[in-house]
Amino acid sequence: MSRHQSNSISRLNRVLPVPIELHNDESEDDDSGGAGDGQGQGQDTGTKAKRVSKLSHITNVLVGEHHLIEGEHGKSYITWAIKIVLDDSDYSSIVIYKRYSEIEKFYQDLMHHYENTKRVLIPALPPKDNFSIERIMMSNNWLEERRKGLQWFMSNVLLNPKLQDCDVIKKFILG
């Protein structure tokens, strides 16, 4: 190696950034009674899961384009791409694909889960119209209106801080 190359490498080593250390965002003084007092060390997994879920939360929801899927026996259906962003980071986002009927089931599960709670309002879904391939081919406006309605519903449900820890929502996203 020539002296010029060696000099360049040593200068490069001086300006390289310090390696980044990634941590799990847990410390002894995070809501566990203070550092070093011994509390919180025997936490059950439910308490720990709640603490982690408070750290990560849904910050954006986008109902994107629809996809026409050729089902079994030639029966077609539409799925909707739903992008869920966690902690305002595009790097921690998930895209799920759901049929309207799955979103409708999610709505019914939410209504059942919160039926005795008057403080939580679940918005209505866009109306369910008869679906036909001919209708889609003739009118993309119908699909755009449905997408807007689903966007409104998903935003009002998934971005609601009162609902984010709900098991129904976790099941819908991860199921």
Provide the mean pLDDT of the chain: 75
Instruction: Considering only residues 36 and 97, tell me which one the structure prediction assigns the higher pLDDT.
Output: 97
Q: Return the pLDDT at 23.
A: 52
Containing 52, the helix (H) or strand (E) segment is: helix 45-55
Q: Quote the pLDDT of residue 55.
A: 57
Residue 115: φ, ψ to 5°: -65, -30
Q: What is the DSSP letter of 121?
A: -
Give the pLDDT band (50/70/90) at residue 165.
Answer: confident
| Cα(74)–Cα(44) distance, integer angstroms | 50
Instruction: Name the least confident of 10-14, 42-46, 83-87, 118-122.
Output: 42-46
Q: Is the pTM value of this prediction over 0.75?
A: no
Distances (CA, A) of 65 to 13, 51, 61, 83, 107: 46, 34, 13, 10, 20
Work out the widest C-alpha separation in the chain, in whole angstroms: 78
Please give the distance of CA 41 from its chain centroid, rounded to a whole number: 30
Residue 79: what pLDDT? Answer: 94
Interior CA angle at 140 toward 136 and 144, to 5°? 115
pLDDT digits (tens, 9 = 90+) for 53-106: 455 789 999 999 999 898 888 888 889 999 999 988 878 899 999 999 999 999
Q: Mean pLDDT across the stretch 111-123?
A: 88
Cα-to-chain-centroid distance, residue 111: 20
Spatial separation of the C-alpha atoms in residues 97 and 80, rounded to whole Å: 5
Alpha helices in 56-166 (DSSP H): 100-113, 133-138, 140-158
Q: Which of 16, 48, 51, 158 is nearest to 98 (CA)?
A: 158
Task: Give me the residue label for tokens 């929801």.
Answer: 61
